[in-house]
A and B are shown apart, each in its own frame.
Chain A
Amino acid sequence: MAHEHEPGEEHEAGPRHELSHWAKRAYAMRDILVEKGVVTENDIRQQAEFTESKTPANGARLVALSWTDPEFKARFMADPKKVCAEMGIDASTLNEFVILENTDKVRHMVVCTLCSCYPRPILGRPPDWYKSFNYRKRAVNDPRGVMREFGLDLPDDVEVRVHDSTADMRYLVIPARPAGTENLSVEELEKLVTRDSMIGVMDALPSVPE
């Protein structure tokens, strides 16, 4: 998300008097906490920058390497936080990180029915649909219907495993590697790995987008 100003900094983007009740209280609490020395403007800016630096590209790299290097995949699935650290992806704020691998016969889909748990230190902020009430309600009892809405009609003999992130575990799906991609480079493969494929509601793209 592009925002060129500091979070909460005065700027030209929209009249402040039209802000909602709670938006105004966000600025008010920020100012009070800064005045009291509980947090600094700098803390807030750095945190926002840290969050902005987390994007699905992190996950795409991990998935593409897992597709091309079985030894990497084995290590990644066994100790994902350690492998992230080696790759320069700071996942230290993540409690626990669990990798789920899709196959021809078994596929995984991740939800948090109680709130919006998501592997933010790897993928960044969750998409709006992931936080939506309709997804939280339907993912557990209608996963196939949800996937159909995302364009995926699964055969009956494929087993769907829904993971409800109710505790300290954060889940990431390795989607199946699309057929006919044997000659693609790791960099090209990364472009096939979408955010939604790592949540498990879609497949990886069949070919590199134009």
Chain B
Amino acid sequence: MKRTHDMGGDTDAGAIDRTEHAMDDWEVLADALNQVLGVKGIKCTDETRRAREDMDSEAYLSLSYYERWIASLETILVEKGLVTREEVDRKVAELENRWGEP
């Protein structure tokens, strides 16, 4: 059984897009947060890899690179009891409130 992330040699591939995108602020944060938690020994690379590999195929393929990082980091932090989904939901609502309406 082959899983989605294990894509070496898949024959449905097209041309390689060489466009570089400028990192958004939240992507810089996602990158740094992930690294810091690794340096502090709170989680390791193989754990977040595993969480990404366990994502359903549609999510793995549709999320952007750093969205996958954040989704997998949340899975691992929830697993370790450092955050709960509900806490993150509440904090998102709080932030949305602070950021204001469109």
Direct contact of A and B (CB under 8 A): yes
Q: A residues touching B (Cβ–Cβ < 8 Å)?
A: 1, 3, 5, 7-9, 11, 13-33, 36, 38-39, 43-45, 47-48, 50-51, 93, 111, 113-116, 125, 127-129, 131-142, 146, 149-150, 164
CA–CA, A3 to B29, complex, Å? Answer: 11
Q: How large is the interface on B (under 10, 10 to 19, 20 to 34, 35 or more residues)?
A: 35 or more
Q: B residues touching A (Cβ–Cβ < 8 Å)?
A: 5-33, 35-37, 39-40, 42, 49, 52, 61, 63-67, 70-71, 73-74, 77, 82-83, 87-88, 91-92, 94-96, 99-102
Main secondary structure of the interface of A (DSSP, over half): helix
The reply to whether B67 and A22 contact each other, CB–CB distance below 8 Å, is yes
The reply to whether B13 and A134 contact each other, CB–CB distance below 8 Å, is yes
The reply to whether B16 and A135 contact each other, CB–CB distance below 8 Å, is yes
Known contacts A16-B95, A133-B61, A138-B16; A43/B36 CB under 8 A? yes
Known contacts A25-B70, A47-B35, A128-B21; A32/B91 CB under 8 A? yes
The reply to whether B17 and A129 contact each other, CB–CB distance below 8 Å, is yes
